[in-house]
Structure 1
Amino acid sequence: MRELPLRDDELVLRIVEQDDLTELYELIYKDDHPEWKKWDAPYYPLEREPYERFVHHTLARLEADQKAARPASSRVIEADGEIVGLISYYIEDPLSMWLEMGIIIYKPSRWGRGIGTRSLHMWSGHLFENLPIVRVGLTTWSGNERMMKAATKIGLQIEGRMRKCRFVLGDYYDSIRMGMLREEWEQKLSSETDGNAYN
């Protein structure tokens, strides 16, 4: 059965289509030093892959999700009908279903508008509703204050801080682990009675 898009007004999280792949590839690889990479794990170099391999890996990932009868592990983030990023998850440990989320907004013109926060809110709820997990988490670094703020707004809290283990542009930063338990998500869900999900 085809998964329906997740919607919040003009913001949509939808399954990656084959027609999206050229645009996604350009968003990721068009610039040698893209602005988004300064915030998304800048301590790892962006390793360009050939377009054919990118297509193969993306489609293979979607096919693997279908075969395993689990929700698609990545979705396009679309705002006002425009692809602006990707949101994803991966299973760190299948035995405990330790799950980590990831998000990238590729277009700097879309930063600071709440797209990341709203996407993470929809995505974490979708994962709790459709997977037998007790926790959702994400890993970032202390230099990415926007990511930490967005995660905090949707209910994640700092669970671990590995001090000064990330080196970016000559400075040391902390690695930050954040997470939310299912019971915390359920409590937050039940308290969202005023229509504002980000208190």
Structure 2
Amino acid sequence: MFKYQIDESLHLSLLETRDAEALYRLIDRNRAYIGEWLKFPSMTLHADDSRAFIERTRLRFAKDDGYWLGIWDNNQLVGSIGYLYINQDDRKTEIGYWLGQEFEGRGIITRSIRALINYAFSELHLNKIEIGAASSNTRSRAIAERLGFQCEGELRDYEFINGRYLNRVIYGLKSSEWRSEKLIAAGLDQHGYKEET
């Protein structure tokens, strides 16, 4: 089973069918909150819907075709994150994510995205990661911007949710940009050596 330990309390792991009830309860508690920006809560009406989703994502994981992971904080399911697809030909992917409202404000999503960025660039050897967010979803956009993603454009009337059209802002991050950011943060030069001060 895929598991990525982020720190003492936080880890990501491939969802299992036994997680269906917990996943459904989390979605159901946050239906209106998550549903403001995403469509899947309106299609998740029973635990069986969550079970079917988990089975689909496990098949996609087996095919290396993108997948969703559970976000676990102190062994409690608090949200989900994943690669919406993995395009090996063009060496790129897109990260999607959501978190229960009661777990916000603790850096969980930022740390989880950072883990998937590192994995995509170092293990999957991809060149680019994208994140899409509704133009009016300022919280989600702020996360992408904080992690160094560059705004690459806005798609008008990208999707229709809750009786309204939402524009989608596309953010991109290249492997070389991520490496540069990490080197700068560590005080290293472009070759990985400590810069003289």
Aligned to 1:13: 12
Paired positions, count:
187
Equivalent residue letter for 2:113: L
Aligned to 1:89: 83
TM-score when normalising by structure 2: 0.79
| 1:164 Cα deviation after fit | 6.0
- Distance in 1, matches of 2:166 and 2:66, equals 32
Cα distance, 1:41–1:17 mapped onto 2, change above 3 Å: closer
Equivalent residue letter for 1:58: I
| 1:64 Cα deviation after fit | 3.6
Equivalent residue letter for 1:82: Q
Q: How does 1:28-177 map to 2 (within 5 A)?
A: 28-29=27-28, 33-38=31-36, 40-41=37-38, 46-66=42-62, 68=63, 70=64, 73-91=67-85, 93=87, 95-106=89-100, 108-163=101-156, 174-177=167-170
| 1:48 Cα deviation after fit | 2.9
Aligned to 2:173: 180
CA RMSD of aligned residues (A): 2.9
| 1:92 Cα deviation after fit | 6.7
Q: Unaligned regions of 5+ residues in structure 2, if any?
A: 188-197
| 1:10 Cα deviation after fit | 2.2
| 1:74 Cα deviation after fit | 1.6
- Distance in 2, matches of 1:73 and 1:190, equals 29
Instruction: Work out whether residues 129 and 172 of structure 2, in 8 Å CA contact, stay in contact via their aligned partners in 1.
Output: yes
- Distance in 2, matches of 1:11 and 1:78, equals 6
Is 156-165 or 122-131 further displaced after alignment? 156-165
Cα distance, 1:12–1:134 mapped onto 2, change above 3 Å: same
- Distance in 2, matches of 1:6 and 1:166, equals 34
> 1:8-44: per-residue Cα shift (whole Å, max 9, x none)?
342221222333211001212356x422222x336x8
Aligned to 1:26: 25
> 1:106-150: per-residue Cα shift (whole Å, max 9, x none)?
2x1211222111111111111222213210111111211111111
What fraction of aligned residue pairs are identical, expressed as a percent? 22
Partner secondary structure for residue 5 of structure 1 = strand
Q: Unaligned regions of 5+ residues in structure 1, if any?
A: 195-199
